[in-house]
Chains A and B, each alone.
Chain A
Amino acid sequence: MAKYVVARAADIPEGGRRLVRVGEREIAVFHFGGRFFALLNRCPHAAGPLCKGRVVGLLESGDPGTYSFDASDRYVSCPWHGWEFSIETGQSYFDPKRTRVRSYPAGVAPGEEIVAEMDAEGQGGDTGGRRPGPYKAEIFPVDVEDEYVVLTLPR
């Protein structure tokens, strides 16, 4: 696994999302409830762009005409066919055993910490598990006081 700095936290406001590229992967990063979530931008059904999907709460029912809604449990609804995937785990709602979209751990780290780790590893080093992502050149000179969105992906 490797860590990639993909955005400044401030660039993705609460309720927002941003499409980022890490190598050849397109990843949809969502910011909800003060947390960041990352899903591969590719619906397992027909490859729809999940980054453009609505983010909806969990709607369940135990009986026709009754509704149980949990706004804090978020699902991305694919813009093409409406399939729902947990923003946290990537699992589908309707077929959790067989259908899921790849999800990745997304976290926020202060710039100072990232720079300190990179310094320890050597610039561009790939040895400590965390390596510089595509935002490296833009970000670090701007403000190391900022917080950054860091994805953990298989290499």
Chain B
Amino acid sequence: MTSMDMVKITFNLVVIYVIGGLIMAFVYAKTSPIMFIKAKEEKEAALKLMMPEADKIAVLGDWEPHEKHAEYYAARTCGEIKITQVKDEKTGEMKDEEECLNPSDIGYIVEGFGKGYSSYIHVLASVDKNFIVQKISVLGHGETPGLGDEIEKDYFLSQFKGRSAENLVVIKGETPDKIQAITGATISSRAVTEDGVKNGVHMLKKELSGEVQG
């Protein structure tokens, strides 16, 4: 191989990789803003589903499980809803704006991440004022199709209702008060239960214990 060949090969590789990189960067630049907005809408819809009885869900703060940004929320019901007419600045039309008076917390929602078999599993968990889990849902993950992705199924998720933080433990096989692992996906089950939800509930307890009396 002459030095000319080496230059040729290097040039060939660089050119093709730069073109490939540019194409990918272009697609990413076009799609990521839309993707971001859609993901945010989906998250808001998911939050609403976590506590359907709440009138309002307010951000309380954020934390960093696995160095990822995650938030926690208070689910509130309004003592009274005051409706005021406000002028929309863009259209100039009058519209109703609801204001929540005397809100009271009925529970909390925490967003968390669990390190699974092949991805970080993005979860939401709602708890009541005594930090008993009400509901959890999986927002996103990259686990093995057919095995790990069973964590999205109801038979797994419904086990969480009524569990306290101490009982968020994965057991292989039948269990009356803990969480039963999915066959063939113990790591993913554990990531959701212990890494995602349990850590989130512990964090909530620590952050909010001052606010909660009895």
Do A and B originate from a single complex? no
Chain B interface residues toward A at CB < 8 A: none
